[in-house]
Amino acid sequence: MSVTVTQGYAAGAAAAAPDRCGSTPSPLRARRCARLSEVALTDDVLAVHGGTPLSGQIRVRGAKNLVSKAMVAALLGETPSRLFDVPRIRDVEVVRGLLGLHGVKVSDGADDGEIVMDPTNVESASSDEINVHAGSSRIPILFCGPLLHRLGHAFIPDLGGCHIGPRPIDFHIQALRQFGAIVDKTPEGMHLTAPNGLHGTKLELPYPSVGATEQVLLTAARAEGVTELRNAAIEPEIMDLICVLQKMGAIITVHTDRVIEIQGVPKLHGYNHKPIPDRIEAASWAAAALATRGEIEVLGAQQADMMTFLNVFRSIGGQFEVTDARVARPGVTGVEGGIKFWHPGDELQAVALETDVHPGFMTDWQQPLVVALTQARGLSIMHETVYEQRLGYTEALNSMGATIQVYRDCLGGTPCRFGRRNFKHSAVIAGPSKLHAADLVIPDLRAGFSHLIAALAAEGTSRVYGVDLINRGYEDFENKLAALGAHVERI
């Protein structure tokens, strides 16, 4: 929420500007200062007093990348659904609002983190109302299949989300057309209808996209006939969404070689489901422990879905201990398991990595881990193969003293689809680097948490602008930071 800036704060910022930018700033510093000057001053600014190791326990809830999709799936049922362990994050509120616009009654259940969704009276929503939410999330595109089944029509506004490269909706539209949807493009968005219903089809993804796989699953579950999807995404969150749909009455078979077969059914009912824990948030806190030379126990984290990350964490030199949920431990309420991550005390080691679809190294893990790699001795390589513009955040790390160079070449083990398309998608990180405080502007969700980790690891006090964006995917992160001994405060 924008606020009127106090004279004292404005004067302080103006007085500090020459010190931060200098009379003749370097090109890098000039770009950073120009960017700061373009950002509207808001009340979501966090002062981070760095240099203190993070230590303690925090808990992760259900995965953001599953919870929001499971909420959309509730539209397909004709009886209420219950979802447990739901995180209090902005993306959940966005989906909750969109469901409400379409007549779904969403209420809190008896347990903390439980929501109940009753889709009995699904109705149309105006394009203006949908547009109010469109800038906050890309989730409206996934409403299309369920709404076409329930109402016979749907609307797609211009989509928001994190600015990490174009994530085209072309395949979504193409797939919906193959199912039988008619798409009418208008200035405010796309209106879809299905006058003859939706029918099963055969599709093959050019790339195993998570969003496109979700679109097919949510549309095919009630389409007439059989749908075969080849080159599908098989992330744990996709498998959990299939579990949700199966609980609702869907018939879905996962074959070898990324082939998913969906036998459409005429009706689905509600579900009761506890989602898998958020492996992205768990890895983010693990990287924070490494970068700040601390020790963080992440309750709720599961080893099976994080094995690739854990291997890399150990290769760098980080230590971790997995505790099974059935084993009671002193000082922990109940018997919930988790993973404890800590810095070994010795030097960290450089590594060469490339992101990939599951079971590879997840793209959302790379930004937090790169901050930790600035503290590793030697040259580390990060080759980003999933999103073409996801290394922009390294500029801010360089302004804090890191030494990171980005390249257009594929520096990983194999060439990727961005190698000859002029995208800077590989990074070389030289370390260890002593990080110092800076003013940082959060560009997107995962980069934002990386900026926060860097500020916590740096000496001095940083000001981080736009921290409310972190609330999109990290529940109650400020209180979690306090529980870990971080010194942060709202400005």
Indicate which residues carry an active-site annotation: 162
Find out whether 209 and 171 touch, Cβ atoms under 8 Å: yes
State how beta strands 81-83 and 272-273 pair: parallel
Question: Edge-to-edge strands of the sheet including 202-204?
Answer: 202-204, 226-230, 259-263, 251-255
Cα 310 off chain centre by: 19
* Amino acid (one-letter) located at 408: R
Q: How far apart are CA 223 and CA 179, in angstroms?
A: 8
Collapsing DSSP states into helix, strand and coil, what is residue 444?
coil
Q: C-alpha angle with apex 322: 368 to 256, nearest 5 degrees?
A: 80
| Alpha carbon distance 159, 351 (integer Å) | 36
State CA 62 to chain mean position distance: 12
Residue with tokens 């990287």: 287
DSSP 3-state helix, strand, coil percentages of the chain (rounded to 5)?
35, 25, 40
Question: Residue 300 region, left (φ>0) first, then alpha (ψ -120 to 50), else beta?
Answer: left
Number of neighbouring beta carbons within 10 Å of residue 157: 19
In our burial notation (b when 16+ CB lie closer than 10 A, e otherwise), range 305-326 reads bbebbbebbeebbbbbeebeee
Contact 387, 352 (CB under 8 A): no
Whether 70 and 142 have beta carbons less than 8 Å apart is answered as: no
Residue 208 · residue 357 · CB < 8 Å: yes
